[in-house]
Structure 1
Amino acid sequence: MRSRTGVAGCGRMGAPMLAALRAAGLPARGYDVLQMGSPHITDDIAVFSEDLDTLITVVRDIEQTEAVLFGEQNFAAIPTLIRIIISSTLSPKYVKSLRTRIPSHIALIDAPMSGAQIAAQEARLSFMIGGDSADIDGAMPLFHAMGKHFHRMGSYGAGMQAKVLNNLLAASNTAMTRLILDWADAADMDRSALLDLIHTSSGQNWFASGFNSIEFSRDGFAPDNTIGILVKDVASALDAAPEGADTSLPEIVQRTIAALKPREPKG
C-alpha cells in the first residue's frame, strides 16, 4: 500500500496546491464535485479515499468542511487516515471544536495560507500553522512542496487565529486601495503611476503592490468569488473577537467590501 495525500476542494487554490505536491514527486490526488478535467482529480469518494493517509481541506466554508469531514464525503472516517490539515479559512472557534469530533489518533493541523492564486500556482504560499510540533514536523515536506514561508503560530487553532487577523488587515487594505483608485480615476490620475508611488511610499500594502497580478483585484462582490470569500473571512475574524471588543471598524470594512462593484481596466 502506498500512502497518499488528498486535497479536498480543487478550485482556484486547491488545484495548484495539488499540482505543486505532484510536481514535488509526492503521491497526491484531488477531490472535487465540480472541478473535473484532470486525471488527478476525482469526484469518486472511494477512489479518493484509497490509501489516503493525509487529508488537506481547501473547501470554501464551514458547511463544505462539515460535508468533507463528517457528511456526504465523511473523509474523517477513512481508516488509513493519520493526519488532517485544515487549510480553509474558517472561524477559529469552529476549528478548535473539531478536535473533540475527530478520532484522537488522527493528527490535526490548522494551516491556512496566504498569497492568492498566483502564489499557489508558483508554489510560494505563506502558511500560518498551528498544532503539535511533532505533527507539524511530519507534515513539513508537504508544506515545502506548496509554499515558501512557514509561520508556526502555536498550538492547534493558533494558525487559524493568525490567518483571520491577517485577512482582516488584508480586507482593510483592499477596501481602502479600491477607494483611493476610484478617487484617482475621478481626478483623472494615471493608475499605474499612482500604484508605483504607493509601492515605494507609506501607503504600501500587498493588495496595491500586487494589483496587476492579483486575480480578484478588479472584481465586484459576488457570493462565490474571492471578494465574497473575503467578506466571509472578516466574519470569521469577528467571531473570534475578544469579549467586549469594539468591532465597529471591522464591520465597516466588511460592509465596504460587500458593496464593491467590478472595476473596469484603466491604464
Structure 2
Amino acid sequence: MNSAGGPCPPTIRENSVHLIFGLGPIGGNIGERLAELNRKVFGFDLAQARVHKWAAATNAPASSDLSRVDWSAVDSVIVAVRTADQVSSVFQSLQECCTERPLTVFVVSTLAAEDARKILPSAPESWRVFEAPVSGGPHGARHGTLTTFLSGPAPTDAEERLLADISGRVFRMRNYGDAATVKLLNNTLGTYNLLSTAHMLNLAQQIGVSAKEFLEVIRVSSGQSWMSDNFSEVQYDLLLKDVGLLRGEVGSLPATDLSGDVEQEILQARGLLDSEA
C-alpha cells in the first residue's frame, strides 16, 4: 500500500515522458502547457476527437490505445478524469501496463475526501501518488497559473519542478482527503459567489438596470469576485458536481440569508481568523 509517507522513489528523469490521462479542459491544457515548455508529453483520451485536436495543437503523440505508449520512457502520469470510478479505472489500466514499474502519479481530478482516502492508498508500492486537485479553470491550466491543493509524500526536486510548471501556487497537506476537502470548500464558496452574482444581475434587469452594464460595475467595485470576472465562461456543471460531493461529506451546507444575523456570522469568522494569527 502506498501512503502519504510513501517510499523514497527514483526521480523523474529529465527527458522522460509525461502521460496526460484525460484531454478535457484541464488535462488537455496542462498537456499543452508542458509541451510548450518543451517537456515530452503523450496524451490519452477515449474520445478520438479530443485526441486528434490535442495532437494537432501540441504536435505531440496522442492515442486512445495505451499500447501505443512507450512505457519505458514514462516516469509520471497526470490523471485528469472526472469521477472517482474513472480514477479507479485509470489506476487499474496503469497497473496492467506498468506492472512493478515506478511511477509518479498526480491525480488532479476532484474526488470526495472519502474516495481519495480509499482509492489513492490502493496504488502499488512502487508508485508515488499525489492527490492534487486544482483551481483556476482551463485558462489557469493553459498558462501554468493553477492553484494546486497537494496531499501525499514530500515531493522530490523533480516533482517540485513539474508542479512549478503547472501551478502558480501550491497549498500542501499531508493526508489523502485533505486536499479534496479544501478544494470542495473553495469551489462551493465559488458557487455561492456565482449564484449571488446571477441573482444580482437578474434583479438589476428586473428593476430597469442593464445586466450587462451592471456586470461591468461589479467587476471594478466591491461586488467583484473571480466568478464575476469569469461569469460567462465558468464551468458551472463542474462546480455543482463539487457542491454535491461536499454535501455528501457534511450532510448540509450553510444557507445564505441576509435577513438573519449577518453581523454575528461575520464577527464569528473574523474571530476564528484572529485566534489563528
> Is the TM value for this pair above 0.5?
yes
CA offsets, 1:59-107, max 9 Å, x none? 111122122112xxx1134133421111011111101112442112211
Among all aligned residue pairs of Structure 1 and Structure 2, give the percentage whose two residues are the same amino acid: 23
Match for residue 88 of structure 2?
Answer: 66
Matches within 5 A, 1:65-144: 65-70=87-92, 74-77=93-96, 78-79=98-99, 80-135=101-156, 137-144=157-164
Q: Secondary structure at the match of 1:133?
A: coil
TM-score (norm 2): 0.76
CA offsets, 1:35-56, max 9 Å, x none? 1211432111112362322111
Q: Following superposition, which runs of at least 4 residues in structure 1 exceed 6 angstroms of deviation?
A: none
Please say which structure displays the higher CA radius of gyration: 2
Label 1:174 to 1:83 Cα distance change in 2 as closer, same or farther (>3 A).
same
**2:144 is aligned with 1:162:** no
Alpha-carbon shift at residue 7 of structure 1 (Å): 0.9
| Residues paired across the two proteins, number | 232
Matches within 5 A, 1:1-267: 3-34=16-47, 35-37=50-52, 38=55, 39-48=60-69, 50=71, 51-70=73-92, 74-77=93-96, 78-79=98-99, 80-135=101-156, 137-211=157-231, 215-216=233-234, 226-241=235-250, 246-247=252-253, 249=255
More helix by share: 2
CA separation in 2, counterparts of 1:190 and 1:153? 44
Q: Secondary structure at the match of 2:51?
A: coil
CA separation in 1, counterparts of 2:102 and 2:43? 15
Alpha-carbon shift at residue 246 of structure 1 (Å): 4.5
Q: Once superposed, what is the RMSD of the aligned Cα atoms?
A: 2.3
Counterpart of 2:83, as a letter, is D
CA offsets, 1:155-186, max 9 Å, x none? 33322221111111111111111121122222
**Contact 2:17–2:75 (CA<8 Å) still a contact in 1?**
yes
Q: Please, which moves more after superposition, 155-164 or 17-26? A: 155-164
* Greater RCO (CA < 8 Å, at least 6 residues apart): 2
TM-score (norm 1): 0.78
Structure 1 unaligned residues grouped into runs of 5+: 217-225, 251-267
Q: Please, which moves more after superposition, 13-22 or 227-236? A: 227-236
**Contact 1:173–1:207 (CA<8 Å) still a contact in 2?**
yes
**Contact 1:91–1:237 (CA<8 Å) still a contact in 2?**
yes
Counterpart of 2:241, as a letter, is K
